[in-house]
Amino acid sequence: MKWTIGTKVGAGYALALFILVVIGFVSYRNTSGYIVATQRRSSTYQAIENFEKVLSALKDTETGQRGYLIVGEDSYLAPYETGKAAVITALKNLRQQVQDERSQQRLLDALDPLIAAKFAELKETIDLRRDKGFDAATKVVQTNKGKEIMDEIRQKIADGKNEEEALLAQWDTEVNASARQTIFTIVYGIPLALVVLVVFGFLLTRTITRQLRESITLLSSSAAEILATTSQVAAGATETAAAVSETTATVEEVKQTAQLASQKARYVSDSAQKASDVSQTGRRAVDDAVQGMHHIQEQMESIAESIVRLSEQSQVIGEIIATVNGLAEQSNLLAVNAAIEATKVGELGKGFGVVAQEIRSLAEQSKQATAQVRTILGDIQKATSAAVLATEQGNKAVEAGVKQTRETGESIRLLADSVNQAAQAATQIAASSQQQMVGMDQVAMAMESIKQASTQNVAGTRQAEVAAQGLHELGQRLGALIGSRSA
């Protein structure tokens, strides 16, 4: 695989970066180990110190106990109280410092009951001295119970200190090893990296110089060809710019024509829309007329039904009048019979005769009124028949009007649909004209951009011609420079 100059330079930087990363990683690991070992060593020192604090604080508690047993004053218990608190604090710190060491945890588990027993023994003697006096407390001390507990505590603390000191030696060894590795990496790794980089840089420089010499030779010959080609391109670009200017003028004329067509199309679209609106208005008016004719037809039918019912009621009234007339005749006959009977009775029947006469008179009046009502009812029936006939004729005229109105509405609907289609077509034509106008604007802008680009190409070609000339001269100077260095 043939590497480019950029690849080779990148490989050189990658190699240098790799060496630095390796040195940095090794140094970081050694330094991290050094820091960890140092922290562990510090923690071990603190653990040893806390072991010693526990023992010292226990001694302080014994000192306070002995002073109180001898003197019997509470002021001598101050070392006892402070020592007791110091023991508890030191044990708590020890628990935290050796939480990763199982053997030390077991030792502290064994030490806790011994310290508790020691505190109990001390408290017992102090209470006896306070309550029963010096002799009672002395007897408990003479049993050597407290001394035995204290000896066990000292042994446990000594074991813990010995284990921590062994760990301290181990941490010292790790710290020294990490420090030596770090120093070795820095002292020997950096010079080795410099030697590798210098050798690689020398080889890379010699390779790049050889490739540059070959490239410069090719550059000089290519620059000469580019210079000749650029001159031809500059002449062609000038001709192209002139042709583009003429085309731009033609496109501008077409744009104006398209703009005029778009205005006409918009006018036609507006007119078609107005015609569509008028036809819609006519269609709604015809629909309203049809609804009105339907309403009139319904009213005529309602009137016809009312007149028919009136005719039927007139017949019923005629029957009632006939009945009333019969009653009047019967009343008249009854009145005659009553008068005859009253005459037979004589003087006693005169009042009855007067009543019979009045009844007869009323019967006559009823017959006359019935005759008048029958005459009026006949006139009403004649008028009702004429009204029924007129209603039927009006109903037929309304039906004809509804039919004609429907036909007119259908014609107007067809006309409205045709006008709507024409309006839609005109709208589409206007939209198409507008799109054509937009397209012509874009074409004009594109031609203007092409014109500007052609002008820029002419200027750029001239600049490229000058640059090619300078590139040719640069290739010659670089060739001379590389040649002088190689010599």
- Band (pLDDT 50/70/90 cuts) for residue 291 is confident
pLDDT surpasses 70 at 388: yes
Residue 419 CB contacts under 8 Å (≥ 6 apart), including other chains: 272, 275, 276, 279
Map tokens 């002419």 to a residue: 458
Burial of 327 (0-12, 13-18, 19+ CB in 10 A): middle
Identify which of 86, 56, 77, 63 has the alpha carbon closest to the alpha carbon of residue 126: 77
Residue pLDDT, tens place only, 357-385: 888 788 888 888 888 888 987 887 788 78
pTM of the model: 0.36
- Give the number of other Cβ atoms within 10 Å of residue 245's Cβ: 14
- Give the number of other Cβ atoms within 10 Å of residue 161's Cβ: 18
Helix (H, G, I), strand (E, B) or coil at 143: coil
Q: How far apart are the first and last CA of the chain?
A: 30
Taken as a whole, the chain contains a residue count of: 487
Pairwise pLDDT comparison (16 vs 108), residue with the higher score: 108
Identify which of 171, 149, 139, 2 has the alpha carbon closest to the alpha carbon of residue 61: 149
Residue 265 CB contacts under 8 Å (≥ 6 apart), including other chains: 426, 429, 430, 432, 433
If one looks up domain 231-486 in CATH, what number appears?
1.10.287.950
- Band (pLDDT 50/70/90 cuts) for residue 487 is very low
Alpha helices in 72-101 (DSSP H): 78-97
Q: Averaging pLDDT over each range in 2-16, 156-170, 251-265, 324-338, which range is the top one?
A: 156-170
pLDDT for position 382: 85
The mean pLDDT of 75-94, rounded to a whole number, is 92
The mean pLDDT of 108-121, rounded to a whole number, is 92
Domain map of the chain by residue range?
A: 5-215, 231-486
State the chain's maximal CA–CA distance in angstroms. Answer: 191
